[in-house]
Structure 1
């Protein structure tokens, strides 16, 4: 019997995200806080630098079965946004918990080539 797979979070940390280019953000604290609610993988550049800091929440196995898909968040540059993401993931994330209205301000759709390349490298 398979164990359920929880939500996973990818946090971009490369040329723009997670660097001094995005000022006023405690980048280490952002990763630490998200790590409290899900497995966090720090990734190289996700090729959407204009959206720095980028966080991608992958659905759990339950969420995927319910139709949940990865949610890309951009411009996550304050502690409250990080906290809102953490609370949503703890509630179940994509496919399980409704996305709070405040988080819709951060959601974006990456260019198709980025999504395709990203999905191939995350397996």
Structure 2
């Protein structure tokens, strides 16, 4: 009895390494404690506009509540090799700032593209303890 052979399973090509955009949605970020912000629309915009370009992940709390809403843009492996480091952005409470983040990440993000100058207003440096939890 002969067996019918099926073609070997094809493996999908490895995904291109990309930036990671971490969005805080803890005790303050993404809640009514920051009034007048459509938090769901912000997250939807990031997920939709960065689909296939960056990994968007949501975390419970980045422990930088005084900066709510907080977004961290981590470089791709190529960006890190080029000297890029994670960029912490706080008070990201308007659609224009979110759009600027999307444009920057689409252009390559940290290490590969300079951010729009307006994002300098949103940058902050958290303590080492806080950074370690996200960047490692």
Q: Shared fold by TM > 0.5?
A: yes
Corresponding residue number in structure 2 for 1:68 = 84
Count of residue pairs brought into register by the alignment? 120
Deviation of 1:60 (Å): 1.0
TM-score (norm 2): 0.83
TM-superposition CA deviations, 1:42-80 (whole Å, max 9, x none): 101101000000000110111111011110000000010
Residues in 1 aligned to 2:27 and 2:98: alpha-carbon distance in whole angstroms? 20
Kept after mapping to 1: 8 A contact 2:86/2:135? no
Does the residue aligned with 1:34 lie in a helix, a strand or coil?
Answer: helix
Deviation of 1:119 (Å): 3.0
TM-score (norm 1): 0.91
Deviation of 1:2 (Å): 5.9
Whether 2:102 is the aligned partner of 1:86: answer yes
Whether 2:35 is the aligned partner of 1:23: answer yes
Corresponding residue number in structure 2 for 1:42 = 58
Counterpart selection for 1:103 from 95, 119, 129: 119
Aligned Cα RMSD in Å?
Answer: 1.4
Kept after mapping to 2: 8 A contact 1:59/1:95? yes
Larger Rg: 2
Residues in 1 aligned to 2:20 and 2:133: alpha-carbon distance in whole angstroms? 18
Corresponding residue number in structure 2 for 1:116 = 132
Moved more, 69-78 or 36-45: 36-45
Gaps of 5+ in 2: 1-12
